[in-house]
Amino acid sequence: MVVRRLVFRHSQGALPAGSSSSYYDWQDRLLSCRARDNRRLLERIKKIHDGSDGVVGSPRIWKELRYEGEPCGLNRVARPMRQQGLKGIPQRKRWRKKVCGQRPDDVRNHLQRDFTASEPNTRWVTDITYVRTQESWLYLCVVIDLYSGMVVGWSMSHCQDRQLVLQAVLMALWQREAKTPVILHSDRGCQFTSNEYQRFLKGHNLICSMSAVGSCADNAAAEGFFGVLKRERIYRRQYRTRAEARTDIFDYIERFHNPRKRRHMEMGQ
């Protein structure tokens, strides 16, 4: 009230006589408008947070709001989220040991840890991870376009074999219809060093690129996707069967991850 009186005292010269109540009414209307706008924004924040199953934090929610045309700053999103106890899921690291094969003599690392691309369908990365279910393991192979970060090919199977990889690459080729040679980078897993895989790449205008032995950082883009997938979805579930896990992972890739990356591309990010 003291602040309001001081503000009024400095401004009363500009107001007609007997207008103090009108001034307070005007100020109250401003405060109530701001409060209503804050409530409206909080509802949008909660909707995005709930729609992500509670995994996204304030930076991603802010980006979604910007994409939807909401004029707000990051702090205006982060502050009410802290007040309401809304948080994203923090990252955790899990290391896995992989069986490495001998890299073919004519294959080298074309990316050299540069996971950017100036055009679509010029640089892809691929990798395999595994998902625990009460039934047994489910293996997932993905192909990611470094231009957009979207998963352009994927396959799942109870077997970690060459067919798992080939099906994912075939899906990427079918969806993207790449007309020029594409660099396809992987680690040295035995599925990728096999003669069948190497022949397949050469027959489909794909340039094989491989990481150094034991260097996860050489394929960090694919490893990073798996880390986000597990943090945002897999580690928050307990799958009874491989079919249940397959359905949930499909939902994450096609209804959550790829649309999110597509929106970021449209926003120029």
pLDDT one-digit tens code per residue, 36-48: 777 888 888 888 8
Residue 7: per-residue pLDDT: 45
Averaged over 174-187, what is the pLDDT?
Answer: 89
148, two tokens? 């957009």
Residue 3: per-residue pLDDT: 45
pTM beyond 0.75: the answer is no
Q: Which has the closest alpha carbon to 201: 220, 176, 181, 223?
A: 181
Superfamily name with CATH number, domain 123-266: Ribonuclease H-like superfamily/Ribonuclease H (3.30.420.10)
Q: Which has the closest alpha carbon to 138: 53, 215, 250?
A: 250
Q: Report the distance separating Cα 214 and Cα 205, nearest Å.
A: 27
Share of the chain above pLDDT 70, in %: 80
Domain boundaries, the chain: 2-12+21-84, 123-266
pLDDT one-digit tens code per residue, 217-227: 999 999 999 99
Q: Which residues of 26-63 are buried (b: 16+ CB within 10 A; e: fewer)?
A: eeeeeeeeeeeeeeebbebbeebbeebeebbbbebbbb
Q: Report the distance separating Cα 258 and Cα 171, nearest Å.
A: 15
Q: Report the distance separating Cα 222 and Cα 189, nearest Å.
A: 14
Residue 94: per-residue pLDDT: 52
119, two tokens? 């055009």
Q: Report the distance separating Cα 69 and Cα 119, nearest Å.
A: 27
